[in-house]
Chains A and B, each alone.
Chain A
Amino acid sequence: MRRKEKEYLKYIAPAMVTMIVLSVVPTIFLTIISFTNYQLGWDFSKTEFVGVKNFVRLFSGADRDFWHSVFISLAFMVLATAIELVLGFLIGLCLNSSEFKLKPLVIGIMIIPLVITPSIAAQMWKLMLNSEYGIVNHFLNTLFGFKITWLSEKMAFWSILMVDVWQYTPFVTLIVYAGLRSVPDEPYESAAIDGATKLQELFYITIPMIKKLVYLTLLFRVIDCLKLFDIAYVLTQGGPGTATEFLSLHIFRMANAQNGLIGRAAAIALVLLVLTTCISKVLIKKMRKEEAV
């Protein structure tokens, strides 16, 4: 019996070992670097341990862009996730509530933003949003007679949000739709007999049935938003000024060749890592609690 008990290890060990090696080891490495003053291109002999100096610099406000980055990253996370979830859920419901011939086509179209290479898609958006010769402003101008400087200091954050919503709402939609498809019919039938309204059905049957899935989607989106890099990097490179310097872009600015301050960047990276881990831990815990009920 004892032998049998551990048989699962045979199956999960290769995956577990790979993941441990490829994610735990780098994390340890990252932590070590974050306590040094290492710079890109240095010999290790030049490197010194500087204790918690890198972190003090962050939290004391000496790095004057850090808190701003944290703030806009979190703001982006909340806004993008909320919009994508609500919108994606609505579209998913719409898709599920009627049968029509063109449905595979509609789904096919929604797959497009999902598979398009984000860095290239973002470039195309940059072209479309250009204030002088972008097609978006061209239409706004001919139809409504005004233009928006999409990538200006005030608007850049919202433009990135828009592109993110464009790219990932379909992902939410597809998951929600998939979940709705696999909800069995029986509860609805008995609800219909009891004379429940559509809204009641939604809140008392549909949502509880796919609750775990919604949590999972939430989790995916929350973390992905926090990790956001390519769209913002391509659209604004964190600018103008630091208007869109999300945490990952702040890390990039510290670590890339212009600065090459790998030690400091590692400290910010560690903060980002801790932040994502905490948020995902909280969400996962909540999700499992719901599941247990």
Chain B
Amino acid sequence: MKKRTKKLLSMLLVGVMTVSLAACGQKGGEEKEGGSEEGAGGGLSFTAEETKTLEDWGAAVKKSLDGTEITVAMASHPSTDAFKKMEKEFTDLTGIKVVWDIVEETNLKNKQLLDAQGAGSYDVFMVDAFWMSEYASKNVLVPISDFAEDETKTPEWFDYEDIMPAYRNGIAGAGGVNYGIPTAGETRFIAYRTDLFDQYGKKAPTTMDEFLELAQFFNGKEDGLYGVSMRAQRGIHFASGWMSLMYNFGGGFLDQETIGSDDEVVTCTTDETKESLKYFVDLLKCAPPDVGSYTHEEALGAFISGKTAMWLDATALAGQITDPESSTVADKVAFVPTPTGPAGDGAALAGWNLGIPETSKNKDAAWAFISYMASKEKVKEYVENGGVATRASAFEDPELQEANPSYEAQKLALESANGLVEKGLSWIPQHDSINQILDIAGGYGSSALTGDTTTDQACEDMQKDIEDLIK
């Protein structure tokens, strides 16, 4: 009897596996069919003549895509709120309905990657620049030039070239292929409290040494005042904060020239990298004691509530610093680019893109959405709604400049960011496993911050771990 049960079991097992394999094969077939159908079938197609104005374009899109429903997966981010405010006009024009799925950042990536594994429920992804290399290696997104450079799908007023080159080429793709349209860009810069600086007769930092000195000077100078705030939560946040100044020391996680070759070189133990970590940890000693749990969120919170004298983080957040509604220091701040280090400038370049997942079933409607939301035509409305600018025309618009006092400093910061691009370096190394690398580096770095290990030892440890990962 027992034997028989076993036999029955094994038969069942085989059965189940066959069924699941069959289902798998079947699905693959279906997908191909679906793909070719879209290629051959009507889809989106128009001429430049037909789309001179928004209304004409809307009518042209409506003809083929009226009633389509697209689902977008976006981060909770000021840009998303701005897009949402523009939804009604888009739907009125094109007849395309939009379903929003807005989630917090770490979860968003989870969702997108899980979805790309088969469910295919989404049509537009909002993608962090940090994820691009990984997504590229996993074929998550469609190369965006398929759409952006196709005149039968893109109206003239979209104007791809208007997007700042640093963003267009720096954060939207990997391996020379662009997968997204940058809609929110950021570099990193310093905000400092003019009232405190005036009071103690200090000048804004221009070198890394001055920056550290100032942080140490202001730390504890007044009751409850700390020197600086930055993001430093264990893992990717710590790594990202560290990267804000790593390149200025000539450090790096990887030798970027070797990426993709058989012999990728990890450079966590070079003197430059070690020095930059030591500097970063020293700097964080001048931050509020719980800085080890700060993301950009808390770092910003500490500065706008007046707890720190300086802040080094994303330009995209500057709006919240100068907004008197959210900030207690709105009228007493000024901005300067990230200070120069021993190895020159290396300002950050990061941000968000809109891209179309391979698994989307409504790619044309998704592109209509992106080309509308991210167009030059709508950029002013987008920025006024609270969106973060990536287009030259936005930075140059006098009204927008007036409303955003940090634009001038942002532009300067962007220029130094372009410097890194010209050196052939990517601020976020374009490695398939970059997120895991950052997680490891940020893990060990964080233990150096808590004093569990020395900075040198942390570098040795992360070197070993990263090598274990990528080799």
Residues of A whose CB lies within 8 Å of any CB of B are 6, 17, 20-21, 24-25, 28, 40-42, 57, 62, 152, 239-242, 256-261
Q: Give the contacting residue for B138; candidates A21, A42, A152, A242; CB below 8 A.
A: A42
Q: Which of B111-119, B323-331, B386-394 contacts A (4 or more CB under 8 A)?
A: B111-119
Separation of A152 and B289 alpha carbons in the complex (Å): 12
List the 9 closest A-B pairs by CB distance, nearest first: A41-B138, A257-B110, A257-B109, A257-B113, A240-B293, A41-B113, A256-B110, A259-B436, A241-B234
Separation of A260 and B113 alpha carbons in the complex (Å): 9
Separation of A201 and B371 alpha carbons in the complex (Å): 79
B436 touches A241 (CB 8 A): no
B436 touches A17 (CB 8 A): no
A40 touches B16 (CB 8 A): no
Separation of A41 and B293 alpha carbons in the complex (Å): 29
Separation of A24 and B106 alpha carbons in the complex (Å): 32
Q: Give the contacting residue for B234; candidates A40, A41, A239; CB below 8 A.
A: A239
27 pairs of residues in contact across A and B, judged by CB atoms under 8 Å: A6-B1, A17-B12, A20-B9, A20-B12, A40-B114, A41-B113, A41-B116, A41-B138, A57-B468, A62-B465, A62-B468, A152-B290, A239-B233, A239-B293, A240-B293, A241-B446, A257-B109, A257-B110, A257-B114, A257-B435, A258-B109, A258-B236, A258-B435, A258-B436, A258-B439, A260-B436, A261-B436
Q: Which of B97-146 contact A (CB under 8 A)?
A: 106, 109-114, 116-117, 134, 138, 140
B461 nearest in chain A by CB position: A64
- B63-74 vs A, CB cutoff 8 Å, 1 = contact: the mask equals 000000000000
Q: Give the contacting residue for B292; candidates A25, A40, A42, A240; CB below 8 A.
A: A240
Q: Is B76 an interface residue, CB under 8 A from the partner? A: no
B134 partner residues in chain A, CB cutoff 8 A:
41, 260
A241/B468 contact (C-beta < 8 A), A41-B113, A257-B112, A261-B436 known: no
A41/B140 contact (C-beta < 8 A), A20-B9, A259-B436 known: yes
A258 touches B106 (CB 8 A): yes
Q: Which of B422-445 contact A (CB under 8 A)?
A: 435-436, 439
Separation of A25 and B16 alpha carbons in the complex (Å): 8
A21 touches B439 (CB 8 A): no
B24 nearest in chain A by CB position: A44
Q: Is the contact region of chain B dominated by helix, strand, or loop, or is it mixed?
A: helix
Q: Is B177 an interface residue, CB under 8 A from the partner? A: no
- B1-16 vs A, CB cutoff 8 Å, 1 = contact: the mask equals 1000000010011001
B435 partner residues in chain A, CB cutoff 8 A:
257-260
A40/B9 contact (C-beta < 8 A), A6-B1, A25-B16 known: no
B452 nearest in chain A by CB position: A241
Q: Is B180 an interface residue, CB under 8 A from the partner? A: no
B106 partner residues in chain A, CB cutoff 8 A:
256-258
Task: Give chain A nearest CB distance to B168 CB in angstroms.
Answer: 25
Q: Give the contacting residue for A40; candidates B1, B17, B113; CB below 8 A.
A: B113
B117 touches A41 (CB 8 A): yes
B113 touches A25 (CB 8 A): no
A62 partner residues in chain B, CB cutoff 8 A:
465, 468
Interface size in chain B (residues, C-beta < 8 A): 32
B235 touches A258 (CB 8 A): yes
Q: Is B450 an interface residue, CB under 8 A from the partner? A: yes
Separation of A20 and B17 alpha carbons in the complex (Å): 13
Q: Give the contacting residue for B12; candidates A21, A152, A240; CB below 8 A.
A: A21
Q: Is the contact region of chain A dominated by helix, strand, or loop, or is it mixed?
A: loop
Separation of A260 and B111 alpha carbons in the complex (Å): 12
A239 partner residues in chain B, CB cutoff 8 A:
233-234, 293
Task: Give chain A nearest CB distance to B437 CB in angstroms.
Answer: 10
A40 partner residues in chain B, CB cutoff 8 A:
113-114, 117, 138
Separation of A25 and B236 alpha carbons in the complex (Å): 35
A25/B439 contact (C-beta < 8 A), A41-B117, A257-B114, A258-B235 known: no
Separation of A62 and B134 alpha carbons in the complex (Å): 24
A240 nearest in chain B by CB position: B293
Separation of A67 and B12 alpha carbons in the complex (Å): 38
* Contacts beyond the supplied A41-B113, A239-B233, A241-B446: 19 A-B pairs with Cβ under 8 Å: A6-B1, A20-B9, A25-B13, A40-B117, A41-B134, A42-B138, A57-B468, A152-B290, A239-B293, A241-B234, A242-B234, A257-B106, A257-B113, A257-B435, A258-B106, A258-B235, A258-B439, A259-B436, A260-B436
Task: Give chain B nearest CB distance to A48 CB in angstroms.
Answer: 13
B450 partner residues in chain A, CB cutoff 8 A:
241
Task: Give chain B nearest CB distance to A101 CB in angstroms.
Answer: 48
B117 partner residues in chain A, CB cutoff 8 A:
40-41
A260 partner residues in chain B, CB cutoff 8 A:
113, 134, 435-436
Separation of A21 and B236 alpha carbons in the complex (Å): 39
Q: Which of B4-36 contact A (CB under 8 A)?
A: 9, 12-13, 16-17
Separation of A17 and B15 alpha carbons in the complex (Å): 12
Separation of A261 and B436 alpha carbons in the complex (Å): 9
- B132-163 vs A, CB cutoff 8 Å, 1 = contact: the mask equals 00100010100000000000000000000000
- B226-243 vs A, CB cutoff 8 Å, 1 = contact: the mask equals 000000011110000000
- B442-461 vs A, CB cutoff 8 Å, 1 = contact: the mask equals 00001000100000000000
B439 touches A259 (CB 8 A): yes
B113 nearest in chain A by CB position: A257
Task: Give chain A nearest CB distance to B115 CB in angstroms.
Answer: 10
Separation of A6 and B116 alpha carbons in the complex (Å): 47
Most buried by A among B117, B436, B446: B436
A241 partner residues in chain B, CB cutoff 8 A:
234, 292, 446, 450
A21/B16 contact (C-beta < 8 A), A257-B110, A258-B435, A261-B436 known: yes
Separation of A256 and B436 alpha carbons in the complex (Å): 11
A20 partner residues in chain B, CB cutoff 8 A:
9, 12
B116 nearest in chain A by CB position: A41
A242 partner residues in chain B, CB cutoff 8 A:
234
Separation of A19 and B132 alpha carbons in the complex (Å): 41
B235 partner residues in chain A, CB cutoff 8 A:
258
Separation of A257 and B435 alpha carbons in the complex (Å): 9
A28 partner residues in chain B, CB cutoff 8 A:
13
Q: Which of B160-215 contact A (CB under 8 A)?
A: none
Task: Give chain B nearest CB distance to A42 CB in angstroms.
Answer: 7
Most buried by B among A21, A256, A258: A258
Separation of A256 and B106 alpha carbons in the complex (Å): 9
B293 partner residues in chain A, CB cutoff 8 A:
239-240
Task: Give chain B nearest CB distance to A40 CB in angstroms.
Answer: 5
A40 nearest in chain B by CB position: B113
Separation of A124 and B181 alpha carbons in the complex (Å): 38
